Each structure stands twice: as C-alpha cells, then as structure tokens.
Structure 1
Amino acid sequence: MADTALETNPVTNASGVNTKGDAFSSFNVDDFAVPGGRDEDWRFISLRRIRGLHNASFAPVAEANISVEAPAEVAVETVAPDDARLKAAGAPVDRVAAQAFTSAKSGTIVSIPADAELTEPVTITVTGAGDEVTTFGTVLIESGANSSATVVVRYAGTGTHADNVNWVIGDNSRVYAVVDTQWDDDAVHLGAQSIVVGRDATLRHTVAGFGGEVTRMTPRVKFTAPGGDVELTGVYFADDGQYIENRLLVDHSVPNCRSNVMYKGALQGDKASAKPDARTCWVGDVLIRAEALGTDTYETNRNMVLTDGARADAIPNLEIETGEIAGAGHAATVGRFDDEQLFYLRARGIPEKEATRLIIRGFFNEVLNKIPVESVRDELIARVSGELEQANL
C-alpha cells in the first residue's frame, strides 16, 4: 500500500518567542501568515466579521480622511507612506497592522516641539469613508523633550478601517492622550498603537470604546530609559451586535519605571434582538524583564454584565523575570453590579432603576475623572448616561 503524505495546517497557539515583548515585527504585510480563528492572538474575535482585513480580501482601498486641529506651535505634516520617520515607534506585530502600514496612501506626523506647554489640545479626527471601501492610516505623534500636551484622537462615521497610531514620548515630556472610538454602529476598526516612552517621561492614555460593530485596540508600551511613568486606562460599553476588544502589552525593559493599567467595561443586550450578543475581550500583558529592576506595576480589568446573554472575557498576564522590583500585581473580574450598594441606595428611598444607574455611573467615573480635558470628560460621562437610558435595567 502506497504511503500517503499527511498535510497539516499548524495553529499558532503560542508566540514562538520567549516573551510577548519579543514578538516578530515587520512593516511588510507579506512577512506575516494569514491568521486563523484558533491562533492565540485572534481566537476571541470573529475573523468573518472584520471584512477581509486579515487576509487581503477587503473592499477597494480609498484615501483615509484624517484631519488635525492643533495650536500654532505644533507641526503637522502629511507625508509619503514610506517616510522613514513613520517608523520611529517600531514595526507592527500582527498582519492587520502591517497591512495598514503597507496599504496606507499617506502618513500624518504631529510634532510637539521641545519645551512647549500647550494650553489647548491637539485633536486628530479620523472619519470613515463609508460602505464598500476600506481605508488604512498611519499617524505618528511625537512630543519633544520637556514638553506638555493633551492629544485627542477621535474616530467617527462608518466604514472599514485599520491603522497604526504611534507615539514617541520624549524625555521628561508629559502627554495626556484620549482615543475615542465613537464610530457608527456598522463600522469595523482594528487599531494598533506602538508607544515608546523616554527618560522621566509621563503618559496618561485613555481609550473610550462605545461605537462600532467590531473594534479592536492593541496598544504596546516600551520604556527606553529609566523614570518612565505610564497609566493606561479605558472604558467600553457594548450593546447587542457589538464586539469590543482591548489587547495591550506593557514591556518593562529598563530599571525604575512605573505602569498602571485600569480598564472598565459594561455589556447589555436585548433578548428580542436578532443581532449577535454583546461581547467584549480584554487581554492585558505586563512583562518585567530581568534588567527592569525597581519596576512598579499593577493592572486591573473590571467588567459589569448587565443582562443575560452578554459575555466578557478578561485575561490578565504578568511575566516577571526579576525579584528586585517595587511591586507587581493584577486583578480581573466579570460580574453583575454590587447588590450591597443597590440595597444601600434603595434603603434610602432611591428607586431600583435609578440606583442601578448611579452605581454604573460611579463604576465608570473612576476612569473618566482622570481625563484632563473637561469637554471630553463631560462628553464621555454623558455618553455613559445615554447608554443607561437605553438599557432595559
């Protein structure tokens, strides 16, 4: 009987490297294999719902609509997609991000000069190009040494979009960043963010996820010198038909840096809806390398499931290669709101529905109150209230 060769399709259920901080990276999409639904980095998202962004079967490519409003001292440039400066924060680590870099028709560079103290925020707005087209974007935000700035990145409209929004945080600079994915309900967006933090630099980075049909944000932080201080915070609220994923990495590779991660999410659904159930996924990786002495880090993810059928996955990971650290820890929860708090409020005459909404608002406000721009903070608080008004609680 003749021998028969057995063909196999391997599943990349492991990274193939020592740590996630050492993941393969490239600016060329052809260097990445097409991911499958069982691959570790893609096993939660439905590849069928991301409109071919992962395997190049996407709709024709259109120019991304990216606009920037900034104080006069900020330099804003539209550059060729192969401009070497766009590579300053490092190469993509997944195929969709590499596709975005390969296929973007132009790049945007926003430069905050050294020693600048901006009193008004920089606002970068990405507007979807609509149905039947796909857009890709590459944006670099760089802060000069000893500068201070607030940068708001807004997404609006509808369409299919993938991008790299990267950050180079200069020595002793302070950047307050808000990334607001307020897409229309039928938008699909996969966004990668590479963040490089310099000596004694401070970054406060908040992601707000309320819109879109499918959204996936993947910030990756790398410290390049001692003294860096990073806080990554996020809020998200998923309804029927929505999938929201936040997948992040903080790579401590130098001594005496600090990081804190806090993401909070809520989910609600409608049993009568024909849409897929609301679903969220949060994966938080913190790596402390052997040389990262004196690291201080903690990560938290809290999820509040408001109705039956909704599902939240929460996966914190902490890799520690040295015991000479100031502290490290993580926590994650998925559950309903606190019944004791509800009882306390009802005992004081507050109706159950209003008491429930007060608890949920307080749940989110711990993150939202950290946003330094009052108008943005108030808008997001109002958005949470709007979600609760529509909720069948």
Structure 2
Amino acid sequence: MIIKSFVKSFGFYKISILLLVICAVWIGQRYVRPYFNLQFSTYNYQYPAPGEDFIVGIEPHTDVIPEFVLNIIKLAFYDRSVVVDHLRAPHLLIRDKNARRGELLKCQRWNAPYITFSGESSTMDRKNYRRNAPPIVEFVSSTPQKIRELYFPFVVWDYKPFVRHKEGNKQRKFLAYIHSNCVPQREKLFAILKERNVEAEGLGKCSRTNDETVIPSRSVGWRSLDEVYANYNFGMAMENKQHPGYITEKIMCVFRGGAIPIYWGDSATVKKYFNDKAFIDVGAFKTLEDAADYIIAISQNETEIKRMQNESIFKDGKEPELFKVSRDPNHPLLKEAARFLRSAYFKAIVNDSAPPMSRDIDFE
C-alpha cells in the first residue's frame, strides 16, 4: 500500500527518471569515474632528480609483486634508483588485480600513475581502478585486448628449469586430480575416468576420494606437488576456463612430477609452447567421453606411457624465450616492456624534469 500511494502521488514517470539517475550515478562511480577524472586532472609533479630515489608503492601494501614486473620497472627507470617504499609519496603505484575491493578503496592516498598485474584470465575490473585514472600499463596473463596490455602468462612468472621426477612409487597409480575450484569440465571428466578406472583419485577439495594423501597448502608453493604427482602416471591439468593465451602453472606441476598432463584450456597457445607429444589435450576431442576413452587406452599401454614421460616438455625441444623472463632481469622481452612502460609513464605526467631524449631507452 505504501509503495502504491507513493507511486500515485509522485508519478510513475518521475520515479522512472529518478531510478535512471541513480543507476547512472552508480555506474559512473564504479566504471566511468577514472576516465572522467583523466580528462580533468593530471599527475603534476617532478620526475626525481638524478641521485634521488624513484619510489614505487604497492596496493595493498601486503602484496608481493612478481619479480619480472619489478625488473621491468628498474629497466624502465634505469636513470634513477628504484625503491619500493610505502611511507613516501610514490612516483609509480602497482595494483594487484586479485586484491579485495575493500583493501583497494583504502589505497587512494597518493595521486600517481599506476600499473596493474593479473595472473587470471581476466584483467582488473574497472570498478577497481584508482579514482584518478585508468592504469597506464596492465600486465596480463591472457591475449591482450587493449593497447596498454602486455602479455606475460602466469606459467612463466616463476618458472625455473627442472628435471622431471623419475622416482617416486615405481608402480605408479593411474591418475591424480588436485583442484579446489570445481569447474564443471574438470568434475565431469574426472567422474567419467573414475567410473572406468577405480584408481583415479581426487586429492584436492573437488571430488575427493583419498583422505590419506596430504596435499601441501598453496602457500607452500606449487612445486610442493612434485612428490604427489610422482606417484601417478597422469595428472589433470585443466584450467578454470578456455581463454585465449591463458596458461597457468597447472601443466607445469604435472610435468615436474614426471606424470603426463591431461590438459584443458587454450589448445592453440599451449601447443605454441609445449610439445603436444608429451601431454593429452582434452580440447582436441569432440567430447569428454572421447577424451576419456583415449586416456584409458594410453593407460593400458606401458610403452606409450614411458614414451610420453620421456618426451621433451617444450615444443621442438627448446625452452621458449618467454619462459626465461623470470630469471633473466635483462631479457630482451623485459627491455621491450620497459620501453613501453617508460613511454606510457611520461605521457601520463606533466612538468617532468627528464630531458626528452631520455624518454626512450637505448640498452645497447
């Protein structure tokens, strides 16, 4: 009754307009505001003088940034001493895509250009942009969609060469499924395989069948799964979605343990870097049932299992250049990204004291 009397007295048309205005304000606050502010505000301060520190801030402060990102920043601002400091006003901010919105809303104290990074298939949501402007550069783990995006898939962030695990249980079991995000594709394929081979074991939070095997916490690091996969012939390495360019550490975890990865994700990208004779690509089959049939057939062929386990993990037996960025701070791909970042940075600020000729970098 109250609502009806309110509508009758105020008028349906006026209420509709009011609701539209409220929605527009809400959308503007969450999505449009950074772009609006970009047109009417600037980063008005001096580039640090020679000998002064170039201050980098991290949002939130508790985050750990990927080493390759920090190396890119050091290369980009090679003419200054790059220092991570949360107490002094920063010249550049780094914002984590996965940080909670509540934490990010507290990080509006400084007005400085910022970059973001994401290890997921998606980039930072616009509602999590800083209020002053969108980021000048975004480090992404999937195929770039915007000019300001630079591609470094999550699988390379902390990659180090390794020798595949050859020991473990000599009589390896069939298959290990270690996932905490119960994506339908993963769950359905595991259910099919479990139905056809009782030795398929769920060791994570999803479809758990084995309470005896203790899986190390994610905080310990994904390399801690080596000893687990070393006791199985196959390991499910299925991404949470099929997204162009998106490859995580999952396939590498299985390879490290000496098992054969059962992969699902972006088939084109994974085959660009990895040897397709060393893993099983679920995406190459018309149905999950067809993929399961093939996996079961391989599992019954000891010669084929050994062949696949002894294959080089990388395409053409060579480590791709992209996989070297985490351990070579002067890698050409990092230098290329540094040039891009430096250019974007000086386009974003005004009244900087850096001579125009030094806005580009000559690493030679």
Query: RCO higher in 1 or 2 (8 Å CA, sep ≥ 6)?
Result: 2
Q: Judge same fold: TM > 0.5, yes or no.
A: no
* TM-score between both structures, scaled by the size of structure 1: 0.24
Structure with the higher fraction of residues in strand conformation: 1
* TM-score between both structures, scaled by the size of structure 2: 0.26
Larger Rg: 2
